[in-house]
Amino acid sequence: MKKCLSKSVVLMMIIMLFSSLYFSYHNTASAETNDSTIRIYYEREDQNYDKWGLWLWGDVATPSDQVGGWPTGATPFSNEQIGEHGAYVDIELNENPGVINFIVVNRETGEKDGDSKAFTKLNEYDSVYITEGDDYVYTSPDLTVIVENSNAHFPKWSENSTIYEVNVRQYTEEGTFRAFEKHLPRLKKLGVEVLWFMPIHPISQEGRIGTLGSYYAIQDYKAINPEFGTMEDFKRLVDRAHDMGFKIMLDWVANHTGRDHVWTENKEWYTLDDSGNITHPPGTNWLDVADLNYDNTDMRAAMIDAMKYWVEEADIDGYRADYAVGVPVDFWETARKELDKIKPVYMLAEDNVEYDFLKNAFNFNYGWELSHTMRDIAAGNKSAKNVKFYVNKMKRLYPTGSYAMHWTTNHDENSWEGTTQELFGEAEKTMAALTFTLPGIPLIYSGQEAGLDKRLAFFDKDEISWEDLSMQDFYKDLVRLKKKNQALWNGSAGGETNFFETSNERILAFERVKGKSKVIVVMNFSPEPVSGNVEGKTLEGKYHLYPSNKLLKMNSQQQFDLEPWGYKIIVK
């Protein structure tokens, strides 16, 4: 969810800063620390720590910007203070701390070792561990963890699905359900199965931004935005989509409502400021919305009733939960149980912080880490090893069966961060192929198949042009690749990911294997031609290049010559 550019910064901070890794691991904190401190270990291969430090903010007693400017204000590591797991510093925390944020930085040059990091479970652990080149925060020095199974129901139809995000407002000149309905035959040929509709509810007038307002400032959970049509129009669209084999997910905004939502007559249903007035979500500048109070049981019941309404009345198949971390996990679990009583639903959490969401309430979440990693690779700031870090993290962290959604763009990325051409340049197709071949479910956003080359306005009319469908076949091939090869299916229905050794660090090579299904991917992560060997015993055999179907015989040490940002998809 984003409502204006400044608000996008808030959500990006959530995305970037909360890429922490939490494990069910017994607290082995040192007795030398106390309740008001946390010890952060940092391990480097060269074991030279004197130039490195932590730029700190969040619930720390002394944020780095109070110590000095960037980067000298960072709390220093030292070669004189080294433990079994690297150098360490003890950071004093505020009373009742919620989160500590930090960046590992060279205090002389300003060079960063990875992205911003955060840790929130300060009441459970007083030591955490970070390593050079790894963007994740660990609670265990040996990274051992028992991965639990997801208890959520996974519909059979979701096993090999691709998601398509529908922006009704910008999709056609009319911006209505009936106008969008005319595109269903084309989308059927594209091969996508799950249609995720951005919020379809009336938008609040109070505090409205722009002429049409934010989709996420909702006035009534049980009504249709009149700009899109009527309830009967929506039901007709759902029925026709179902007849054609599509599934329908609605975007659900449970953290907040618009400021003139019908519920605002019940002030106790909302968070109040010191003057007793309804206020916006804390820690944000989302001034066009009102923060809901999940301590109120009546509000919770009304929210679940509203969610059940669309399943019962319109026969939708699931929800994408906007800003899911802004709502308690026990609410989502209760909501899922109630919805599943009506029909088994499919649930997406806009979150990559609370992996407990994936145990019972949600099937999948947001793969923000991969999105940022791909951008950094395109910019030359990261490499193949960072993709490996991400996939290994998924194996260690996600409840078995659950997975992430991956994309090169969506409504937030397009409107606030840039077009795919701006974000990826010549690497765009390579990164799109990566989202379809790594573990997880891929997403296509409205207009990508038409080469969407502009940032769509978020609060005003800004129609997508469908004149050039030159990218339709590209995405059609990727959707078909995933659907036809079980190795690439979603969650437990798909195959394991094994990385191959390469002679060139700019080459990423991996295989996905499930039974007799095998897909091998080899990619050049650079703007220059590269040649290199890929090594692995399981490479040997006869394959076909995709989508050309050209025969390829490979040995255990296979040379590849790749064009700039070139890639090979090899199928058995």
CA 72 centroid distance within chain: 33
36 CB neighbour count, 10 Å cutoff = 14
110 within 8 A of 64, measured Cβ to Cβ: no
Give the pLDDT confidence of 30-42 residue by residue, as tens digits: 445 556 899 999 9
Phi, psi angles (nearest 5°) of residue 415: -75, -35
Helices 428-437 and 472-484: crossing angle, nearest 10°?
20
Distances (CA, A) of 233 to 181, 192, 244: 10, 22, 17
Sign of CA dihedral 230, 231, 233, 234: positive
Q: Which residue has the tokens 């938008």?
A: 203
Q: Give the amino acid at 544.
A: H
pTM to 2 decimal places = 0.85
* Tens-level pLDDT at each residue, the chain (572 residues): 544 433 443 444 443 444 433 333 333 344 455 568 999 999 998 999 999 999 999 889 999 999 999 999 999 999 999 998 999 999 999 988 888 989 999 999 999 998 788 888 888 899 999 988 777 788 888 755 567 899 999 999 999 999 999 999 999 999 999 999 999 999 999 999 999 999 999 999 999 999 999 999 999 999 999 999 999 999 999 999 999 999 999 999 999 999 999 999 999 999 999 999 999 998 788 999 999 999 999 999 999 999 999 999 999 999 999 999 999 999 999 999 999 999 999 999 999 988 999 999 999 999 999 999 999 999 999 999 999 999 988 988 899 999 999 999 999 999 999 999 999 999 999 999 999 999 999 999 999 999 999 999 999 999 999 999 999 999 999 999 999 999 999 999 999 999 999 999 999 999 999 999 999 999 999 999 999 999 999 999 999 999 999 999 999 999 999 999 999 999 99
Give the pLDDT confidence of 51-81 residue by residue, as tens digits: 999 999 988 999 999 999 999 999 999 999 9
147 CB neighbour count, 10 Å cutoff = 15
Q: Burial of 211 by CB count in 10 Å (0-12 exposed, 13-18 middle, 19+ buried)?
A: exposed
Two tokens, residue 372: 């940022």
Q: What radius of gyration, in Å, describes the C-alpha atoms of the chain?
A: 24
Strand segments, DSSP code E, in 59-216 are: 75-76, 82-83, 86-92, 100-106, 117-119, 127-131, 163-166, 194-197
Distances (CA, A) of 1 to 241, 329, 492, 514, 541: 25, 19, 29, 36, 46
Three-point CA angle 447, 345, 488, nearest 5°: 60
CA distance 418 to 414: 5
Residues 6+ apart with CB under 8 A from 138: 21, 23, 128, 129, 130
CA distance 25 to 544: 44
